[in-house]
Chains A and B, each alone.
Chain A
Amino acid sequence: MTTVTADRRRPAARAGGAFPGGRQSAFGRRHALTILAFLAPAIVFVCWFTYYPMLQGARMAFLDWNLWDLTSTPFVGFGNFTTVINDPVFPTVVANSVLWVVGSLVPQFLIGFAIALGLRKRFRFRGVYQALVFFPWAVSGFLIGLLFRWMFNAEFGVINDLLMKVGVIDAPVPWLADPSLAMLSVIVANIWYGVTFFAIMILAALQSVPDEILEAASLDGAGKARQLFSIIIPYISITLYLTVLLRVIWIFNFPDIIYAMTGGGPANQTHIITTWMINYTQQGNYGLASAIGLFVVAFLFVFCAFYLVAMRRSSR
């Protein structure tokens, strides 16, 4: 352990030896300025096109800012935030958002993992099969939503037609019109859409697991399940943690499918926080929409902080 530390320190010591005293710091300053000069365009770009609009958006959350009437945009303090919280739809939206993330994420993860494991082994036409599996990820979420809207249509949709033909149901099920089924329907569409991402990420991670380790484990008598839980999963755990974190953020911020399939209906029963926010932007009420946006940012910030801490503890 001591040796490793010493080795790691060696290059720094060498550098100090080559450029003693003031020359080293002058060199460092020149390099810093050069680096800054090259970074400046990117920094300006990001500040101007990302952080400036974000700050403007955050400012709107404290104004009565309605695009349909910009003659007066008074400061309203936390008024927009209290309006959002006191809205009778708010509890439904929060509950739906949690259901949307958990209900989509868990099956996406499990199915994606299974597909990745299947694709890890070489077989004939694996490339074609991979391309077919990964294809949905290249399609717009809104388009996927429109396709599933028709597939779930009670009278003209293929899903009811198939279920009736195989005798599972004997009358059309109003998937998108029944509040108890509508959320399930949009989640099914999202699962189908998102499985691919997990499959891609996990497959990439699986390909980094050395075959020698698995062969050695096999020789030591470890079965497939033991190899999976004791070698493969621990080996790719960082990738899994980060992929899950990314997907939580993305699914939480992914209104496309719901918006195309139900528009948040029937009677607000499929609204998640981002579809609800879009509703306010369509009303031109950017004040309320921005307040909801800040809620989303705050929630995801806290979630990411806890998640990363938990991840660090678990990987120790």
Chain B
Amino acid sequence: MKSTRLTIAAGAGAAALLVLAACSGDSGTGGSSSTGAEGGDVTLQMVESLTNPARTELIRRLLDDFESENPGVTVELVSPPTEQADRTIQQMLQSGSGVDVLEVRDITVGPFSNNGWLYDLSDDLADWDGLDALTENARAVAEGDGGSYFLPYGFYGLSLFYRTDLVEQAGFDGPPESWQDLLEQATAIQDPANNTYGYAFRGGQNANSNVVVAIEAYVIDELDTENAFLMEDGSTIFAADEAQEAVDDYFALFEQASPPSAVSWGYPEMVEGFTNGSTAFLLQDPEVIATVQESTTLTDEQWDTAPLLVGPTGKAAQPLAVAGWGVTEASEHKAEAVALVEFLASEGPATEFAQANSLVPIIASAADDEFYAEGPWTSYVTMTENPDTYVNVSQPRGVSWWTEWIQKSDQEIQNVLLGNMTTAELLESWDTFWTEKYAAEG
């Protein structure tokens, strides 16, 4: 009888412990709440989302520097696999489970701040002496629009990667400057019989990005640069007359200068196509520079980068994508978390991070660094020095329907490529989508 009671008590106790453990959610995982209370020291939990091993190693090194400058503060870095990172971060934020610092991107800042998950850094930045060292673009991002929710670590800007040797062999003096030049040169270089293709056309995941960039270049004279999906009169760029010419030129690149399988080409296939020497032109972010430099097929003399392609009026819209570090509203150690974010955006760490990850830097003085003055980086300097030609624009990446837009537009682009839809129908569909979304938002 005694033993029976004992077993019942033990079982009930174990059950109670389990329930308590399950209910106490963040007490075990949230470094911020447990360690800080125990010894007076503070443990911050930081989550990155664009994880890769070399990048994680660099971040860890920068965190070690921060820890040595701030005795008593320890930073635990969480690095979920990139494919699952956004979902993991969302779940952590929703459960309020001890995240103090997190990677925030232009596509996540809107939803995260709407849901009240991000801490507004505005008051802290007013006292931060590092703000003046930032570039104009970085400062605009840091100060935000209606709230300051993250400090950027770098920008992703497009440039044209091109094969110097193939361009020369095809009889051209230099790389294309406009979209129409690109069509002409890529068509001339196209030679499927010898496994040589003109343009690394993006037909798979995120295909919409390059189509929109082309449209923006064609409508730039009346483009709303603060919301580059709209014209100055409030209509969408997809309804503009010039948009039709833009998409026709753009899709001609697929017909005349790309392999048929490019219908399903995403980032890896495009970059592989360029680095293995079979494709002459590639429109990509500077992060690809490091990958191409590692290519065993291409020598340094065989490739270079050129500024983003301009439209018929001689201007291009550069949709700078941006990401950085923010602090969660639920953090119990905001002062330390803000100090960490400011440290990462300060001159030394920010420049090191930008160079190692091939990002357009956020520190103004970094442009004078030799690193950016030679080789493939010169096109970025050219674009920075000519802001009237290469106009920086903001796309509405923070809207709650951004992922829905990406999926819809990518599917419809594939329908155009497969001949199931015309370019006019494509533009009409996109115009309707954005008009209805903005109307519903009020």
A, B from the same assembly: yes
Asked if A262 meets B264 with Cβ closer than 8 Å, knowing A155-B259, A283-B403, the reply is yes
Asked if A153 meets B269 with Cβ closer than 8 Å, knowing A37-B7, A44-B18, A267-B418, the reply is yes
Q: Are A33 and B415 in contact (CB-based, < 8 A)?
A: no
Pick from B90, B261, B272: contact of A177, CB under 8 Å: B261
CA distance A281 to B115 in the complex (A): 17
Q: Are A155 and B400 in contact (CB-based, < 8 A)?
A: no
Least CB distance, A288 to chain B, in whole angstroms: 10
CA distance A156 to B412 in the complex (A): 26
Q: List residues of chain B with CB within 8 A of the CB of A153.
A: 261, 269
Question: Is A208 an interface residue, CB under 8 A from the partner?
Answer: no
Looking at A12-20, A62-70, A246-254, A304-312, the stretch in contact with chain B turns out to be A62-70
CA distance A285 to B111 in the complex (A): 12
CA distance A68 to B401 in the complex (A): 8
Q: Are B15 and A155 in contact (CB-based, < 8 A)?
A: no
Asked if A34 meets B8 with Cβ closer than 8 Å, knowing A69-B114, A284-B111, the reply is yes
Question: Is A291 an interface residue, CB under 8 A from the partner?
Answer: no
Least CB distance, B2 to chain A, in whole angstroms: 12
Chain B contacts with A in 225-247, Cβ cutoff 8 A: none
Chain B interface, DSSP helix/strand/loop, else mixed: helix
Asked if A177 meets B11 with Cβ closer than 8 Å, knowing A155-B278, A156-B272, A263-B204, the reply is no
Q: List residues of chain B with CB within 8 A of the CB of A71.
A: 114-115
Q: List residues of chain B with CB within 8 A of the CB of A266.
A: 203, 263-264, 414, 417-418
Q: Are B8 and A37 in contact (CB-based, < 8 A)?
A: yes
Residue of B10, B12, B418 most packed against chain A (CB within 10 A)? B418
0 or 1 for each of A64-89: is its CB under 8 Å from B? (1 = yes): 00111111000000000000000000
Asked if A44 meets B15 with Cβ closer than 8 Å, knowing A37-B7, A68-B111, A155-B259, the reply is yes
CA distance A284 to B403 in the complex (A): 8
Pick from A45, A142, A177: contact of B263, CB under 8 Å: A177
Q: Are B415 and A48 in contact (CB-based, < 8 A)?
A: no
0 or 1 for each of B386-414: is its CB under 8 Å from A? (1 = yes): 00000000000000111110010011101
Asked if A69 meets B4 with Cβ closer than 8 Å, knowing A41-B15, A155-B273, the reply is no
Question: Is B195 an interface residue, CB under 8 A from the partner?
Answer: yes
Q: List residues of chain B with CB within 8 A of the CB of A263.
A: 204-205, 266
Q: Are B7 and A172 in contact (CB-based, < 8 A)?
A: no
CA distance A37 to B11 in the complex (A): 4
Question: Is A130 an interface residue, CB under 8 A from the partner?
Answer: no
Q: Are A41 and B18 in contact (CB-based, < 8 A)?
A: yes
Q: Are A155 and B195 in contact (CB-based, < 8 A)?
A: yes
Question: Is B252 an interface residue, CB under 8 A from the partner?
Answer: no
Q: List residues of chain A with CB within 8 A of the CB of B262.
A: 177
Q: List residues of chain A with CB within 8 A of the CB of B412.
A: 267
Pick from B19, B205, B264, B415: contact of A44, CB under 8 Å: B19
Least CB distance, A23 to chain B, in whole angstroms: 13
Q: Are B407 and A283 in contact (CB-based, < 8 A)?
A: yes
Pick from B18, B110, B261: contact of A155, CB under 8 Å: B261
Q: List residues of chain B with CB within 8 A of the CB of A174.
A: 259-261, 263-264
Q: Are A265 and B11 in contact (CB-based, < 8 A)?
A: no
Question: Is B170 an interface residue, CB under 8 A from the partner?
Answer: no
Question: Is B169 an interface residue, CB under 8 A from the partner?
Answer: no
Q: Are A156 and B204 in contact (CB-based, < 8 A)?
A: no
Q: What band does the interface of chain A fall in when counting residues whose beta carbon is under 8 Å from B?
A: 35 or more
Question: Is B276 an interface residue, CB under 8 A from the partner?
Answer: yes
0 or 1 for each of A257-277: is its CB under 8 Å from B? (1 = yes): 000001101111000000000
Chain A contacts with B in 166-215, Cβ cutoff 8 A: 172, 174-179, 182
Q: Are A265 and B12 in contact (CB-based, < 8 A)?
A: no
0 or 1 for each of A283-316: is its CB under 8 Å from B? (1 = yes): 1110000000000000000000000000000000
Q: Are B22 and A69 in contact (CB-based, < 8 A)?
A: no
Pick from A69, A142, A182: contact of B111, CB under 8 Å: A69
CA distance A266 to B413 in the complex (A): 9
Q: List residues of chain B with CB within 8 A of the CB of A279.
A: 407
Least CB distance, A37 to chain B, in whole angstroms: 3
Least CB distance, A145 to chain B, in whole angstroms: 11
CA distance A48 to B263 in the complex (A): 45
CA distance A174 to B414 in the complex (A): 14
Asked if A41 meets B4 with Cβ closer than 8 Å, knowing A177-B203, A267-B415, A267-B418, the reply is no
Asked if A41 meets B11 with Cβ closer than 8 Å, knowing A267-B411, A282-B403, A283-B403, the reply is yes
Residue of A37, A70, A172, A263 most packed against chain B (CB within 10 A)? A37
Q: List residues of chain B with CB within 8 A of the CB of A155.
A: 195, 197, 259, 261, 273, 278
Question: Is B437 an interface residue, CB under 8 A from the partner?
Answer: no
**Chain B residue at minimal CB-CB distance from A261:** B264
Q: Are B414 and A38 in contact (CB-based, < 8 A)?
A: no
CA distance A118 to B411 in the complex (A): 45
Q: List residues of chain B with CB within 8 A of the CB of A122.
A: none
**Chain A residue at minimal CB-CB distance from B19:** A44
Q: Are A38 and B115 in contact (CB-based, < 8 A)?
A: no
CA distance A142 to B400 in the complex (A): 28
Question: Is B14 an interface residue, CB under 8 A from the partner?
Answer: yes
**Chain B residue at minimal CB-CB distance from A52:** B22
CA distance A48 to B17 in the complex (A): 13
Q: List residues of chain B with CB within 8 A of the CB of A41.
A: 11, 14-15, 18
CA distance A70 to B110 in the complex (A): 12
Q: List residues of chain A with CB within 8 A of the CB of B410.
A: 265
Q: Are A154 and B260 in contact (CB-based, < 8 A)?
A: yes
CA distance A89 to B44 in the complex (A): 45
The 7 closest A-B pairs by CB, nearest first: A37-B11, A154-B261, A177-B263, A68-B111, A174-B261, A68-B400, A40-B15
Q: Which residues of B are in contact with A by a Cβ distance under 8 Å?
A: 1, 4, 7-12, 14-15, 18-19, 22, 83, 87, 90, 94, 110-111, 114-115, 195, 197, 203-205, 259-264, 266, 269, 272-273, 276, 278, 400-404, 407, 410-412, 414-415, 417-418, 420
7 A-B pairs within 8 Å (CB atoms) are namely A155-B197, A156-B272, A156-B273, A265-B264, A267-B412, A268-B411, A283-B401
